[in-house]
Amino acid sequence: MILRGSILRSLGAGVILASASLLATSANAASTPSGAVNTLNLSIPGPFNGCTVLDPGATPTTSAILDLLRPSAFLTTSGGNLVGEGGAITSAELVSLSPETVVYTIAPDLRWSNGASFSGIDLVGWWLRAKQLASVQSDGYRDISSLAETNSGLTVTATFTKPYAEWNGLFRDVEALDTPLGCSWSNFLARPSIGPYEVASASANRFVLVANKDWPLDPNRFGRVVITDSSAIPASPAAYFVGYSLNVNSATVEAASAHPSISSHIGTSSLNAEITFAPSRPLTRSLAIREALSLILIRQNIINDLYGSVTFSPSVAQSALYSQGQSAYPGGSGSGPSAQSTTTTVTSTTQSSSLVDCTVCAVDLLKKAGYYKTASGWFSATGVQLTLRAAVGPTLLDKNVAALVLGQWRSDGIAVSSVSESSDQLAAYAVASDQTDVAIFTRPITTTASFSARSYAGPAYPDSYPSGVRTSQLNSLYTSGVSIFNPVTAQATWLDLDQEVMGDFWVRPLFTAPSLVEWSNTIGLVYGSISVQGLVDQVTGWGIVQPPSQS
């Protein structure tokens, strides 16, 4: 849905197969006036922190900012695909599958902001640090058996011990040698940068970036970028503004429409709202109970209460691994903004009927499980009331969704209490460790399904949104999916894992949160994005299409 007459532009979904050339594209709409330092006001969800991309506390928004400050082999398009960045790491090529071998080429004569040269030794040092971390962000790095420098440090060859099809997700936001990890601001400000921008100041709610004058690419970019977590449109139409918000409702749409100098795009995001069930709690270890608690909820009512029955509302989720904005999503894209059908013909070989909400079915399941209902609620055959404890994530969306979910359960006679967690990851951990019966939170969906699938296979790292659920079938599907280079075949495997998890009702996906992108009409080449990273990675391609109006 495009507001105020702006033009919808879609980016083709590129598929990376055996190799990728990282060619830089300087696509500015117009040159910045000579000698001028134009300021871009960029609003993205906060708060921010000083984490490296490998830290468990790294958030999608902080990682997006790092894309402007650190070397990366690949970045994210507005459609959620990975493309070559072409800056400090000029190319990455998969040259062999037996053994899997990737060659990275380093740009010559680039220096970190502290004056040190950037070379292949930085990639080697990053790998040595990454592979030691107990983190889902270190997947893939642990599969590299050797990383060797050649050509005076301008070429690095990675050899893998086993196939790892998602190698293009590695070496993103690389930090300099011997710099501290961690999320403290003092550590962050001490770490050198290399990229199109450098940090002038940083805090939990505001970043100020200035153009790196020594960066060889994007000479016409904005000279100063002020990043905040405030979604307010600047009062002056002369200000250059781009914003990404998950606060999508009638009020925000009307506010955007009230500014003739602002264009906007409503679409999907990369955040899935979901309910996860504990693996070993007395109630939820029963498939019948998990299924009843899932089916009794009318998810469309939750969506309608949150967003209203309007053209931009999302649809009921049909996947736990994919967001509705991704091309691999197995269902329709929602009732808005375009109501287009699925963009893929690949289906799971184990399609189930577990996606349909059915209150009558849930009541029947509870009765068959030995429960009976009175005016006071549901009770077991021994007279124990059916009572749930829920962990709830910290965001406004988490809380609003939880209020509606718990409200529906209560209206159906299920007693429920809740506890707030300080992060979505901690909410997931609470249910995975059987501290609560259910968890309600929003899960970030990345460019590949393996990140979400990691909740159900392999070691349960804190940053993998652990579920506590592990079966031989899920582990086998994960191992297969992450090693398949044919994207069509891999997608079918991920969809099988998706159906396996949902069919056993370990997770009840609710919907993909909508997003709102707003931008000044004076800025060109701004695309609606399914993720904040896909938006921020566009910054160096934006340009001024006309002088700002004065008022």
Range of the domain at 328: 270-513
Going from the C-alpha of 529 to that of each of 69, 171, 273, 365, 446, the distances in angstroms are 20, 23, 18, 41, 13
pLDDT band at 10 (very low <50, low <70, confident <90, very high): very low
- Position 111 in a domain: yes
What pLDDT does residue 549 have? 57
What is the DSSP code (8-state) at residue 278? -
> In this structure, is residue 4 part of a structural domain?
no
Average pLDDT score over the chain: 87
Same domain, 211 and 355: no
Name the pLDDT band for 251 (thresholds 50, 70, 90): confident
- Are residues 320 and 197 part of one domain? no
Whether 549 is in a domain gets the answer: no
Q: According to the model, what pLDDT value does residue 354 have?
A: 63
160 and 233, same domain (yes or no):
yes
pLDDT confidence of 4, banded at 50, 70, 90? very low
pTM: 0.86
Percent of the chain with pLDDT over 90: 70
Q: Is residue 397 part of a domain?
A: yes
Same domain for 537 and 464: no
DSSP 15-71: ---S-B--------SSPPPTT--PEEEEE-S-------TTSTT--HHHHHHHTTTS-
The tokens describing 490, both together, are 């891999």
- Give residues with Cβ within 8 angstroms of 171, minimum separation 6: 71, 72, 73, 89, 92, 104, 123, 126
Least confident of 27-41, 148-162, 268-282, 522-536: 27-41
- The residue-averaged pLDDT of 49-69 equals 92
User: Is residue 102 classed as helix, strand or coil in its secondary structure?
Assistant: strand
Same domain, 425 and 454: yes
| Number of separate domains in the chain | 2
pLDDT digits (tens, 9 = 90+) for 406-415: 999 999 999 9
The predicted pLDDT at position 389 comes to 98
Closest CA to 516 of 222, 301, 233, 280: 233
3: in domain = no
Q: Are residues 182 and 306 in the same domain?
A: no
Q: By percentage, how much of the chain surpasses pLDDT 70?
A: 87
Q: 362: Cβ–Cβ under 8 A, 6 or more apart, which residues?
A: 291, 292, 293, 294, 295, 296, 412
Q: Given pLDDT bands bounded at 50, 70 and 90, which one contains residue 11?
A: very low
The verdict on 248 and 326 lying in the same domain is: no
Residue 525 CA to residue 536 CA, distance in Å, equals 13
Tens-digit pLDDT profile for residues 190-234: 999 999 999 999 999 999 999 999 898 877 789 999 999 987 888
Amino acid at 2: I
Q: What would the pLDDT profile of 149-182 be if each residue is shown by its tens digit?
A: 999 999 999 999 999 999 999 999 999 999 998 9
Please, what sign has the CA dihedral across residues 520, 522, 528, 533? negative
- The answer, yes or no, to whether residue 521 has pLDDT greater than 50, is yes
- Quick one: pLDDT at residue 221? 87
Q: Which residue, 40, 370, 399, 70, is CA-closest to 222?
A: 40
DSSP reduced 3-state for 93: strand
User: Dihedral (C-alpha) 138, 139, 142, 146: value to the nearest 10 degrees?
Assistant: -90
Confidence of residue 100 (pLDDT cuts 50, 70, 90): very high
Q: Say how many CA atoms lie within 13 Å of 121 toward its Cβ.
A: 9
User: Residue 429 is part of a domain; what is its CATH number?
Assistant: 3.10.105.10
Cα(first)–Cα(last) distance of the chain, in Å? Answer: 29
Say if 6 falls within a structural domain: no
Q: Which H, E and C letters describe 377-412, residue by residue?
A: EEECCCCCECEEEEEECCCHHHHHHHHHHHHHHHHC
The identity of residue 66, as a single letter, is L
Q: Is residue 191 domain-shared with residue 308, that is, in the same domain?
A: no
Per-residue pLDDT band at 259 (split at 50, 70, 90): confident
Kindly tell me if the per-residue pLDDT of 442 is higher than 90. Answer: yes
53-91 burial, b for 16+ CB within 10 Å, e for fewer? Answer: bbbbebbbbbbbbbbbbbbbbbbbbbbbbbbbbbbbbbb
- On whether residue 1 sits in a domain, the answer given is no
Q: Which two tokens stand for residue 135?
A: 């983190």
Task: Count CB atoms within 10 A of the CB of residue 380.
Answer: 14
Residues 450, 393, single domain; the answer is yes
Q: What is the pLDDT, as a whole number, of residue 29?
A: 43
Rounded-to-integer distance, Cα 36 and Cα 389, Å:
58
CATH number, domain containing residue 60: 3.40.190.10
* Between 70 and 342, residue with greater pLDDT: 70
Residue-level pLDDT at 332? 62
Could you tell me if 151 and 280 lie in one domain?
no
Strand pairing partners for 373? 378
Q: If you average pLDDT over residues 134-163, what whole number do you get? A: 95
35 — phi, psi (to 5°)? 85, -10
Is residue 2 domain-resident? no
Predicted confidence (pLDDT) at residue 8 exceeds the cutoff of 60 = no
Residues 189 and 299 in one domain: no
pLDDT surpasses 70 at 299: yes
Lowest mean per-residue pLDDT among 81-90, 141-150, 375-384 = 81-90
* Residue indicated by tokens 């983190």: 135
Whether the pLDDT of residue 551 is over 90: the answer is no
Residues 392 and 480 in one domain: yes
